[in-house]
Amino acid sequence: MGALRPRIGGLTLRPERRILGGVPRYDYRCRACGSTFEVSRPMSEASAPASCPSGHDDTVKLLSTVAVTGTGRAAAPAPRPAGGGGGCCGGGCCS
């Protein structure tokens, strides 16, 4: 079984990348005690059952989310095509 990474309040104790050394980590929640934890394992074992750190076997794999961040600056507007007025025909009938 992969290495267990306990979580507190939905946050990992040590922030790390989701894939470490080419092995992805999967989030699980224990139905017996409610703890949330991570298991590092190869993709070929992604559907294998996982026991919680307290030893319970009634666990469920959670859907992972991905956060995408940026610089906070708006992108430059796209340049307008030369000639024509746009509209419903893309400027072909208006000048």
CA-to-CA separations, 24 to 27, 43, 79, in angstroms, rounded: 10, 7, 41
Q: What percent of the chain has pLDDT over 90?
A: 36
Tokens 């989310």 belong to residue: 65
Contact 22, 41 (CB under 8 A): no
Record the tokens describing residue 55, joined without a space. Answer: 């030893």
> Over 60: is that where the pLDDT of 18 sits?
no
The conformation of residue 47, written as its DSSP 8-state character, comes to T
In DSSP terms, 92 is beta-bridged to none
Q: Please give the pLDDT value at position 56.
A: 96
Q: Where are the domains of the chain?
A: 4-61
Per-residue pLDDT tens digits for 38-62? 999 998 998 899 999 999 999 999 9
Which one of 1-15, 60-74, 79-93 scores highest in mean pLDDT? 60-74
Q: How far apart are CA 36 and CA 52, in angstroms?
A: 8
Per-residue pLDDT tens digits for 56-70? 999 999 987 766 777
